[in-house]
Amino acid sequence: MTGHRQYKITDYRFGQMILSLREKVNLTQKEVADALAVSRRTVQHWEAGTAFPDSSHLKHLIAFYLQQGSFTTGTEYDEALALWTQADESASRRKSAFDDHWFHGVLHAVKTPPQPISTLPPSASRVDWGDAPDVIEIYGRQKEMTALSEWVIYDHCRLVTVLGMGGIGKTTLAVKFAQDFAHHFDYVIWRSLRNAPVLEDLLLECFQILSPVHASKPSIPFLLELLQQHRCLLVLDNVETLHRAGNLSGVYKEGYEDYQQLFQKIAQTRHQSCLILTSRVRPVELDFIEGKNSPVRLLKVAGLTSTASQSLLTDTGLFGSSGTWEVFVHYYTGNPLALKIAASSVRDLFGGDLAAFLREAPVTLHTLSQLLGNQFEQLSALERDILFWLAIERDPVDLDTLRRDFLLDIPNPEILSGLLSLRQRSLIERSDQGAVFYLLPVLLEFVTDRLVTIAAEQIIKKDLEIITKHALVKSQSIDHIRDSQIRMILHPVLSLLKRHFGSQAMLAAHLRQILVEVKKIPREMHGYAGGNLVNMLIHLKTNIRGDDFSGLVLRQIYLQGVEAQDADFSGVEFIDSRFTEPLETISAMTMSPSGTYLAASTYDGHMRCWHVADGKPVWTVANASRAWDLAFSPDETFLACSHFRGRVSLWHVPTGRHLHTFEGHEAWVHAVAFHPNGKILASGGGDAQIRIWDLTDKTPRAILSGHTTRLWSLAFNADGTRLASGGDDENIHVWDWKNEKLLRVIQHSAKGTINVAFHPNGKWLAGCCEHDPEIHLWDVDTGERISSLTSRSHGSSSLSFNPEGTHLISGGQDGSVELWQMGIDLPPKYLKRLMGHQNYVRVVAASQRNLLATLSYGEDIKLWNIESGKILRVIEGYSRLIGANAFSPDGKLLLQGDASGRIRVWDMDNHRYIAKTHGHTGPIWAIAFSPDGKTFATAGDDRAIRLWETESLHCYKSYTGHTGQFWSLVFHKDGNILASGGSPQGIKLWDAQMETGNLEISHITTLSDVWSLIYSPDGEYLVSGHMDGSVKVWDSRTGQVKTTLQHGTVPIGDIRFSEDDKTLITSNNEHILKFWDFETGECLRTVANSVLGNRTKAMAIGKDGHLIATGSAGPNVYLWKTTPAETQSDPIPLEGHTSRVWGFSLSADERFLASSDEEGTTIISDVQLGKAVEKIQIDRPYERMNIRGVTGLNAAERAALKALGAIEMETPG
């Protein structure tokens, strides 16, 4: 931001003085700018002598350098007075007296030694300007500035609307006020609404700055709480974007009505903050609240006076008498933007002669809209196209991107000439970052409206010009820009077209007719037409099932999440298009050090690698086995993956070729880390050992033992001499790995999964634990704790330093990502929170170029820009995995929960799905019916339990008390209590009655995660099966443990009571079924089987243990029938699945078994017959989509489409 006046004559004297003050304390211009809440460019101007601070900013500057110790001790007053005097002399139009009283008060308050940079004034970390423009000067607004300062600072107004026509200077006024008075607030947040963000996204951005906790869902009441806790200035620019054009004033667009509630609540609720709105449209909901004595005020901004207008246009070369100036300014109602645009016409056509212009200029140029319309008509075709592309890009765009947008090979000088002409006409702006261009909000709206209107008119006439030359939506744009293109361009075009054609069906038919016309023209002339038409059909119908797009060139189409079954894309050339990723639930992710590659592994064993720059896949490997951890080698040649069953695999990054598998661990491998030289690999996991592998000859080099429990993380320091390891045993170990020597044990303050990371300087080691609210930093050489950082999340589950060492990033249990700024001094400075995930953030991976990738458990991968905090891209897959099945008590319905959180209801009698709803934000792992079948409960990865009415699928209760995922649910026999179990360790009992409120009845803490649950038939006891192979019997009333049974060492898949309630039957889904005397806890009998289970909950036990069904390590399901005398039985295979089974349910009468797998296939088997009787298949998104002869796809993209159902089929004729 800025706080200065700019003049033509350069005066270096003042600049040299403040430059000397800055250099004395070794600060950068950005650090000074952050401390003063101005922009770096402002400080640059001051030091260059091209601009000078006003009195307010000069005081802040002097106070700041006093704090830093820049002035000579004993002569501070003389030096400060000399600085003030020089500022007055250099800025010749400003004279102000030096305030002695103020200075001595500041000098008295300053304490020595001077503050280090890590303790800059609070404003340094509490001002977020977003995309506010850089204001260099403000003219003729003293009256408005005085009103704002009185209302906001002294009258403590809650909401002020700055109202005025487009181009009148509302934004400039609000910026100037915010920069001058930022020091009065704890937080200043500026956000432009020009791209019409939905309210939830806006609230999320605000909470990232203001909130110490991560709200489960952004809400207005939570924002009000924060505005009451802190003195905040929130500025929302371009509020008119939220209103519907062509309607009565103040009518909000569909989907934006909640903004009206936001403004009303802020206006009517008592708080200590202020919201400033700038708008061309008066918010009618505030009409009855505004008033002179009300905390809600309206400031109408009128045009500039003739004198202020002349100051504004000093550098334009216009001349004329005072009377001529008065008339000229009157013509344009003192509108600054209109005056600037008109001035370019006066200069270009009349040599700056105002009198000549006023004699000859058409009277139609006297309003901004008319002026813009006239200017637009006079533009060359190239200039119009540039404006259209700037409107499509929405945000500032660099020259290279703009050049690529044009499909024709336009010479570089022509594009530069067009940009220069538009700059001279004041129609476009150039950013400080070089050849980066953008439109001011009023021009962005004008050009967007023109583009929408012309596109709709031409589509109606089947004229292809606009849709051939311009992409209405760019699939390759970062996510929030693409969403804006859809909201502000594509949807308005469709709205105009629907109004013309009268029905969606007629419009769809018209668009298909145009597609036929496009196919008739040469392919090299298709341009963006095909892609635009496909995108319009997608948003018109929400799917493109069965549509024919064969033979087209399709640019910039966005098919992610789109249902395209039976569509014909044969012979299509795809260019810059995006598709659904063939990813099941993601288990691991990492990004290469340079930010070139991103890799991920899924639960079903697929592994995929992408180019980060364009999001295109490089390769995909199926059946690679699920990875727990991934790591790129420093030179990005190798990718290491840790797996179950003690294996570590090595892959060639450029090709996806498998190079080697290391074996030796005795349990799951949870962590891998490359040595900085790329020739050594470390791995660790469930066997508490670290193994060092030599990649040159693929041999084990060392085994490091010292931990007593599972290892979860490994990290080498920068020079590779030290290796740090973190596990479950509350300790971090630091190793001299070459000599196999444990150098130091650092005790962590909390128990749980400990993650470690070395700072690139090699001197600091960071560690976090999900059960600890603090992140700790230790000195590696001494083991001394040197800093503790308090996380605002519910504990940090992952952490990383960026390669430059300037940021520490942590992922939280609550789904938030936190950033700290690292410097020479400690402690690190808290920067911001990034919110967007719902579940705990399992992986954070930072790379060069300010890139950050995060993975949330059971969700998607988000790619962020660290500096802006914006999401650049979301990689979300499509999974048909069905994680839970449940038969209704009468056996007529089968409920299914899948990896996307959907619930489906299958009618067993009529053999069809009869209902579907979206119940959760992540995979569903547990479903349970109440005893009477009228209600059911669901739970999974999103930490929520939901209770539903079976007949209506109405959710009547939600519980969110868990801090991890759920694995098991069971109702008490009376249906009034629901028990849940999962991770982390614990069982909770909930009130399940429909007529009562949300109530947690009790909580039982366990030592191991809960994998299965069952109530005793009389309801007196609750039995839990655990991940560590133990079985516990609890008194359901007191929560006290009655008995502990140790079945084995692997998870207990299912528990069942015998018909006489005297025997408890348990199975661990591996080899063994056990029968226990429930009263004594004695093991009565063991039945072994010969099939290795698949370690999921795919298991069911029949009455008295005579029947058992289980999944396997492969796709088969096996059935055993036993007799009381047997200790071993032969399995009966039930075939039909092609992938691992997860969802499993046995009907109450034990007639049917429902098994569901990772590919969305459900097999209904007749238990008595021992064979499958029905196969239920869920269509993939691209099922039977014809891609024969397509071009423009690499091998990985083609394979991905086929994995989602696409086929290469001969077309008739």
Question: Which residues form the domain of 1142?
Answer: 882-1177
CA distance 893 to 906: 6
| Three-state DSSP class for residue 694 | strand
Look at residue 350 and tell me if it is in a domain: yes
Look at residue 839 and tell me if it is in a domain: yes
- pLDDT of 2 above 50: no
Which of 978, 986, 1063 shows the shortest CA–CA distance to 1015?
978
Mean pLDDT of 350-359: 86
Strands of the sheet with 1030-1035, listed across from one edge:
1010-1015, 1021-1026, 1030-1035, 1041-1046
Q: From 845, 874, 903, give the residue that closes a domain.
A: 874
Residues 841 and 984 placed together within one structural domain of the fold: no
Q: Which pair of structure tokens corresponds to residue 278?
A: 């700038």
- pLDDT confidence bin for 114, thresholds 50/70/90: very low
Q: Which of 2-6, 417-421, 1111-1115 has the highest mean pLDDT?
A: 417-421
Do the bridges between strand 274-279 and strand 159-163 make them parallel or antiparallel, or are there none, so unpaired? parallel
What is the pLDDT at residue 246? 56
Look at residue 244 and tell me if it is in a domain: no
Residues 994 and 1065 placed together within one structural domain of the fold: yes
Residues 862 and 981 placed together within one structural domain of the fold: no
* Lowest-confidence region among 33-42, 131-140, 853-862, 962-971: 33-42
Q: Which runs of consecutive H residues, i.e. helices, occur in 230-380?
A: 257-268, 306-312, 322-331, 336-350, 354-360, 368-378
- pLDDT of 1193 above 50: yes
Residues 908 and 830 placed together within one structural domain of the fold: no
What is the pLDDT at residue 249? 57
Q: pLDDT per residue over 442-459, tens digit each?
A: 889 899 999 999 999 999
Look at residue 1028 and tell me if it is in a domain: yes
What is the pLDDT at residue 1152? 94
Paired with 683 in beta bridges are: 672, 691
Are the CB atoms for 195 and 481 separated by under 8 Å?
Answer: yes
Q: From 62, 92, 119, give the residue that closes a domain.
A: 119
Residues 755 and 870 placed together within one structural domain of the fold: yes
What is the pLDDT at residue 1127? 59
CATH number at residue 1091: 2.130.10.10
Report CA-CA distances (Å) from 1121 to 755, 1060, 1108: 46, 19, 7
Mean pLDDT of 532-546: 92
Residues 723 and 867 placed together within one structural domain of the fold: yes
Residues 847 and 973 placed together within one structural domain of the fold: no
Residues 721 and 845 placed together within one structural domain of the fold: yes
Do the bridges between strand 187-192 and strand 232-237 make them parallel or antiparallel, or are there none, so unpaired? parallel
1058 compared with 11, residue with greater pLDDT? 1058
Q: pLDDT per residue over 1068-1088, tens digit each?
A: 766 578 889 998 999 988 877
Q: From 822, 844, 874, give the residue that closes a domain.
A: 874
Report CA-CA distances (Å) from 410 to 297, 407, 524, 554: 51, 8, 16, 22
Look at residue 619 and tell me if it is in a domain: no
- pLDDT of 700 above 80: yes
Look at residue 356 and tell me if it is in a domain: yes
Look at residue 969 and tell me if it is in a domain: yes
Residues 1033 and 1118 placed together within one structural domain of the fold: yes
| Three-state DSSP class for residue 175 | helix
CA distance 42 to 29: 9
Count of structural domains, the chain: 4
Are the CB atoms for 1137 and 1117 separated by under 8 Å?
Answer: yes
What is the pLDDT at residue 411? 86
- pLDDT confidence bin for 215, thresholds 50/70/90: low
CA distance 648 to 1177: 34
Report residue 367: phi and psi, to 5°.
Answer: -125, 160
Residues 928 and 956 placed together within one structural domain of the fold: yes
Residues 1068 and 1102 placed together within one structural domain of the fold: yes
- pLDDT of 116 above 70: no
- pLDDT of 1010 above 70: yes
Residues 819 and 803 placed together within one structural domain of the fold: yes
Look at residue 948 and tell me if it is in a domain: yes
**DSSP label at 563?**
B
